[in-house]
């Protein structure tokens, strides 16, 4: 999308010829969005783009958190499984947002954080032991 916008802007600024623009537009592809909303085109396209976030979250639940496999028989077990998956996704997104706020998302992934803190250690001496 960004590339298409860049060469459209280049055409507007007359940096490329119309024939080249037409040829590159053929390769760029198009998207058709039909809507009955009484909103601006850009606003509808932004709504369409925002669905990508939802799809990425579902992908996270299925692939990263492994919450897509159900071997459950009764309704309460299914609801419990979905609720636990929701809580897991909520925690994952919180970690992701914290990493983005601190500009660490490029260096550390949320899965790295989860793996680091998912370990259990027993610390202690002869008198007592602490599970961390």
The DSSP code for 115 is: H
Residue 1 in 3-state DSSP? coil
pLDDT of residue 97: 92
Mean pLDDT in residue range 114-124:
83
pTM of the model: 0.55
More confident call, 90 vs 27: 90
33-57 pLDDT per residue, tens? 888 889 998 898 888 888 888 888 8
Which stretch of DSSP H or E encloses residue 11?
A: helix 2-12
57-115 pLDDT per residue, tens? 888 888 877 777 777 788 888 888 888 888 988 998 899 999 999 999 889 988 889 88
- The residue assigned the tokens 């996270």 is 60
Residue 49 in 3-state DSSP? helix
More confident call, 15 vs 18: 18
Angle 50-65-121 from CA coordinates, rounded to 5°: 135
Query: How many angstroms separate the Cα of 128 from the Cα of each of 70, 120, 123, 124, 131?
Result: 40, 16, 9, 6, 10
Q: How far apart are CA 30 and CA 27, in angstroms?
A: 9
β-bridge partners, 43: none
Mean pLDDT in residue range 13-35:
76
Query: How many angstroms separate the Cα of 41 from the Cα of each of 5, 11, 38, 130?
Result: 15, 21, 9, 60
Does the pLDDT at position 3 exceed 70?
Answer: no
More confident call, 84 vs 10: 84
- Work out the widest C-alpha separation in the chain, in whole angstroms: 83
Q: How far apart are CA 46 and CA 49, in angstroms?
A: 5
pLDDT of residue 10: 56
Residue 122 in 3-state DSSP? strand
């Amino acid at each position: 999308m960004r590339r298409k916008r860049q060469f459209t802007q280049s055409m507007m600024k007359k940096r490329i010829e119309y024939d080249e623009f037409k040829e590159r537009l053929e390769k760029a592809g198009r998207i058709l969005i039909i809507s009955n909303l009484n909103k601006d085109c850009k606003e509808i396209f932004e709504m369409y783009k925002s669905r990508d976030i939802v799809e990425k979250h579902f992908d996270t639940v299925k692939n990263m958190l492994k919450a897509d496999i159900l071997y459950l028989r009764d309704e309460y077990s299914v609801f419990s499984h979905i609720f636990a998956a929701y809580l897991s996704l909520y925690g994952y997104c919180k970690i992701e947002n914290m990493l983005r706020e601190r500009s660490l998302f490029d260096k550390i992934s949320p899965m790295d954080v989860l793996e680091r803190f998912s370990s259990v250690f027993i610390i202690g001496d002869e008198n007592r032991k602490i599970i961390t």
